[in-house]
A and B are shown apart, each in its own frame.
Chain A
Amino acid sequence: MNGSATCPAQDPWLAHSVRIQQVIQETPGVATYNLAFDDPVVGERFRYRPGQFCMIYLPGLGEIAVSISGNPARTDVVPHTIRVAGRVTQALADLEEGAGIGLRGPFGSVWPTDRCAGRDVILAAGGIGLAPLRPVIYDILADRDRYGAVTLLYGCRLPSGLLYTSEYQKWRAGGIAVKTTVDRAEDDWGGNVGVVTVLLDRLSLARPSETVLMTCGPEVMMWYTIQAALDRGLNADSVFLSMERNMNCAIGLCGHCQFGSDFVCKDGPVLPYERVASILRVDDL
């Protein structure tokens, strides 16, 4: 079994051994797991772009597909923000820092940050949908002058569900307008109440035809956000969304994640809106 260090893993089923270096409790039931590769050579080679995901593997329990939520420029740790939702995520939450698990990846398509130079950018996230967009935020902050106005619109069910709140100040200082809203206020909430589209409706858009929208969240939230953006004058070809389906193999071979003609695992998860516009609202597809 040695030789893995010198020979790239051609077998797409081979998981890398990783360690949970740190667990950051984000919100109730949601934590960010900073994973580090056991084999430094593998870690050295690991590169990802915003929007991509990994398969996190707990031997004996199974694999789950999780978007990478970290800074693509930093490869010493690979953060994944995960909500406890089932057997594997619960077992993961029960593990201690230092525990060893498996990881395959990175997989899938990327957010179109390279098409955003000189343009305004709207990031619209719902709930845990902010996690796959956080790498975009880091990418933008690292080269902020490359972009026009950048706005994050973020909606959550409850204020206590808002992710990464401790970073908003840094993001704002870096030149990103951060606007949040919640479906239902809790005790000390003095901010917006309502869905994300309300934030979008209130946003002044200097040059809608030069604005790119990237959105990730529940499908219905993404749909209404996209329609609101198109109503405001964004071009359909400047709209991108991250789809979720049952990603079982991550390499386009198992058939589970099909959405129309696309395998969400390899053609997505980030898809141009125009590619899926005709099927997004078809029931049970």
Chain B
Amino acid sequence: MNEPIDSETVFLARHQLDTLITALRGRGYEVVGPTIDQGAIVYSEITSAADLPVGWTDDQQPGRYRLKKRDDDACFGYVVGPHSWKKFLFPPLATVAAAERTQNGWVMQTPGSVEDTPRYAFLGVRGCELAAIQIQDRVFMGGAYTDPTYARRREAAFIVAVNCTQAAPTCFCTSMNTGPDCRSGFDLALTETSTGFVIEAGSEAGRTLLLELPVSAVTADQLQVAAAARQQAVDQIERHLDTDGLRDLLVNNLNHPQWEDVAERCLSCTNCTMVCPTCFCSTVAEVSDLTGDHVRRERRWDSCFNIDFSYMNGGIVRNSIRSRYRQWLTHKLGTWQDQFGTSGCVGCGRCITWCPTEIDLTAEVAAIRATAGRAVVSASATEVTP
């Protein structure tokens, strides 16, 4: 086929992108990538480069997302949409167990297996999304208990990352140190230029796959153009989250008046948790047939913004929007660090874009930081002043 290229980094011409998709499909992967559906760029199965959002980009602001035509035919010329890859690794609906009634009582089963696990190749994973996958790896596979559904899907997955060449006003990955460059956790990483793709292998599986593609040695010029394209994304990032002492700031300000302020705007709609690439809360529903003899235990995404999320026999613990927003933010940016040794936020900005009331967590944190501790001081001052 090709002359072996003695480099980790190669070049694939634009019109040859289909060879990558074909090679992955040839290896039995279901290729999942960006495609346009209902006015948004979402992730679903693709069979050729024609399925990609060629020539489209996204216009994002707090509470706003619109598709826009580009003046070129870029395949990956958008930022991130409402979907994240978690819907494939941690599916919104999954059967985790089953029970069959027999003459001798219930027979309990866990029906999943490696054989019936989908093998996904993700095409177009951004730097912040690689970080999100690594965070969910810790949640689902890093503790005392491993979630079998997640682990099987994760181990089977092939990851083709794509470096960002532009940023949205909602992006703040540079604050979270997750991007925009793709650093680790991929099999291949692409940088799109006007003529094609500079491709870097990040694993043995990636290197092996490259051997099948009609790639050429990358030129210094191509490398320079790719680097400039990546730098453009860095330069465009304008949003910032000050992470200095962030865990303690939040944990020590559980009664800050800002929680009431944000509760006035928050609808508790759960959008932020649904679009978040790291939010992992779930619940299990019993699904049985009419006889009641065949029962599936179906795990579904849940959200800490749902009122009954904290339900106990004694009542609902977090009965106010104030307490639910506080739980979400202090967990995401604070206690997550105690639990998993990392922030739960990757700075992708989805929760800002998809909030119907334009709540911006970076602004909420800044507001708490601006007056941290003052509320406590003034409250005690009121007590001692006659």
Cβ proximity bits B190-228 to A, threshold 8 Å, 1 near / 0 not: 000000000000000000000000000000000000000
Among A61, A266, A279, contact of B286 (Cβ-Cβ < 8 Å): A61
Q: Please, which residues of chain A bring their CB within 8 A of the CB of B104?
A: 38, 100
Q: Please, which residues of chain B bring their CB within 8 A of the CB of A1?
A: 107, 109
Bound CA span A246–B319, Å: 14
Bound CA span A19–B105, Å: 9
In the assembled complex, B318 has its CB within 8 A of some CB on chain A: yes
- B145 close to A14 (CB less than 8 A): no
Q: Please, which residues of chain A bring their CB within 8 A of the CB of B16?
A: none
Q: Which of A70-78, A179-187, A223-231, A251-259 contacts B (4 or more CB under 8 A)?
A: A251-259
- B297 close to A13 (CB less than 8 A): yes
With contacts A254-B281, A256-B283, A283-B323 known, is A16 near B108, CB below 8 A?
Answer: yes
Bound CA span A172–B99, Å: 44
- A14 close to B97 (CB less than 8 A): yes
- A285 close to B280 (CB less than 8 A): no
Q: Please, which residues of chain A bring their CB within 8 A of the CB of B255?
A: 282
Distance in Å from the Cβ of B345 to the closest Cβ of chain A? 15
With contacts A246-B312, A284-B317, A284-B318 known, is A253 near B147, CB below 8 A?
Answer: yes
- A100 close to B312 (CB less than 8 A): no
A-B pair number, CB within 8 angstroms = 126
In the assembled complex, A210 has its CB within 8 A of some CB on chain B: no
In the assembled complex, A59 has its CB within 8 A of some CB on chain B: yes
Bound CA span A1–B107, Å: 9
With contacts A12-B145, A59-B106 known, is A254 near B283, CB below 8 A?
Answer: yes
- A100 close to B283 (CB less than 8 A): no
- B282 close to A252 (CB less than 8 A): no
Q: Please, which residues of chain A bring their CB within 8 A of the CB of B280?
A: 253, 255
Interface size of B in residues (CB-CB distance below 8 Å) = 51
In the assembled complex, A101 has its CB within 8 A of some CB on chain B: yes
- A15 close to B323 (CB less than 8 A): no
Distance in Å from the Cβ of A190 to the closest Cβ of chain B? 31
User: Which residues A198-252 have CB closer than 8 A to chain B?
Assistant: 218, 244-246, 248-249, 251-252
Interface size of A in residues (CB-CB distance below 8 Å) = 46
Q: Which of B71-79, B136-144, B170-178 contacts A (4 or more CB under 8 A)?
A: B136-144
In the assembled complex, A86 has its CB within 8 A of some CB on chain B: yes
Cβ proximity bits B34-77 to A, threshold 8 Å, 1 near / 0 not: 00000000000000000000000000000000000000000000
Distance in Å from the Cβ of B107 to the closest Cβ of chain A? 6
Distance in Å from the Cβ of A57 to the closest Cβ of chain B? 8
- A60 close to B286 (CB less than 8 A): yes
Q: Which of B155-163, B303-311, B348-356, B362-370 contacts A (4 or more CB under 8 A)?
A: B303-311
Cβ proximity bits B233-275 to A, threshold 8 Å, 1 near / 0 not: 0000000000000000001001100000000000000000000
Q: Please, which residues of chain B bring their CB within 8 A of the CB of A19?
A: 105
In the assembled complex, B134 has its CB within 8 A of some CB on chain A: no
Among B139, B145, B254, B302, contact of A256 (Cβ-Cβ < 8 Å): B302
Among A57, A59, A86, A252, contact of B101 (Cβ-Cβ < 8 Å): A59
Distance in Å from the Cβ of A132 to the closest Cβ of chain B? 15
- B284 close to A284 (CB less than 8 A): no
- A256 close to B148 (CB less than 8 A): no
Cβ proximity bits B329-362 to A, threshold 8 Å, 1 near / 0 not: 0010001001100000000000000000000000
Residue of B at shortest CB range from A61?
B286
Q: Please, which residues of chain A bring their CB within 8 A of the CB of B311?
A: 246
Q: Is the interface of B mostly helix, strand, loop or mixed?
A: mixed
- B108 close to A261 (CB less than 8 A): no
Bound CA span A10–B313, Å: 30
In the assembled complex, A102 has its CB within 8 A of some CB on chain B: yes
Among B146, B288, B309, B314, contact of A244 (Cβ-Cβ < 8 Å): B314
Bound CA span A11–B255, Å: 40
Distance in Å from the Cβ of B170 to the closest Cβ of chain A? 25
Bound CA span A261–B108, Å: 33
Distance in Å from the Cβ of B248 to the closest Cβ of chain A? 12
In the assembled complex, A53 has its CB within 8 A of some CB on chain B: no
With contacts A254-B283, A263-B339, A266-B143 known, is A13 near B99, CB below 8 A?
Answer: no
In the assembled complex, A192 has its CB within 8 A of some CB on chain B: no
Please indicate which of the listed interface residues B104, B282, B292 has the most CB atoms of chain A within 10 Å of its own CB.
B282
Residue of B at shortest CB range from A99?
B105
Q: Please, which residues of chain A bring their CB within 8 A of the CB of B304?
A: 255
In the assembled complex, B96 has its CB within 8 A of some CB on chain A: yes
- B99 close to A252 (CB less than 8 A): no
User: Which residues A53-74 have CB closer than 8 A to chain B?
Assistant: 57, 59-63
Q: Please, which residues of chain B bring their CB within 8 A of the CB of A282?
A: 254-255
Bound CA span A57–B104, Å: 17
In the assembled complex, B320 has its CB within 8 A of some CB on chain A: yes
Bound CA span A283–B323, Å: 8
In the assembled complex, B295 has its CB within 8 A of some CB on chain A: yes
Residue of B at shortest CB range from A261?
B338
Q: Please, which residues of chain B bring their CB within 8 A of the CB of A85?
A: 313
Bound CA span A14–B109, Å: 6
Q: Please, which residues of chain B bring their CB within 8 A of the CB of A254?
A: 281-284, 302
Among A17, A99, A283, contact of B108 (Cβ-Cβ < 8 Å): A17
Residue of A at shortest CB range from B282?
A254
In the assembled complex, A260 has its CB within 8 A of some CB on chain B: yes
For the complex of A and B, 4 pairs with smallest distance between CB atoms: A100-B105, A255-B281, A284-B323, A261-B338
* Interfacial residues, chain B to chain A (CB-CB below 8 A): 96-97, 99, 101, 104-110, 139-140, 143-148, 251, 254-255, 280-284, 286, 288, 292, 295, 297, 302, 304, 309-314, 317-320, 322-323, 327, 331, 335, 338-339
8 example contacts (A-B, Cβ-Cβ < 8 A) are as follows: A12-B148, A13-B110, A17-B106, A102-B99, A246-B312, A258-B331, A260-B251, A282-B255
* Interfacial residues, chain A to chain B (CB-CB below 8 A): 1, 10-17, 19, 38, 57, 59-63, 83, 85-86, 99-102, 218, 244-246, 248-249, 251-256, 258, 260-261, 263, 266, 279, 282-285
Starting from the known contacts A15-B97, A102-B99, 17 additional A-B residue pairs (CB-CB under 8 Å) come to A1-B107, A12-B148, A13-B297, A14-B109, A14-B110, A15-B99, A15-B108, A59-B101, A61-B286, A85-B313, A251-B144, A252-B144, A253-B140, A253-B145, A254-B284, A266-B143, A282-B254
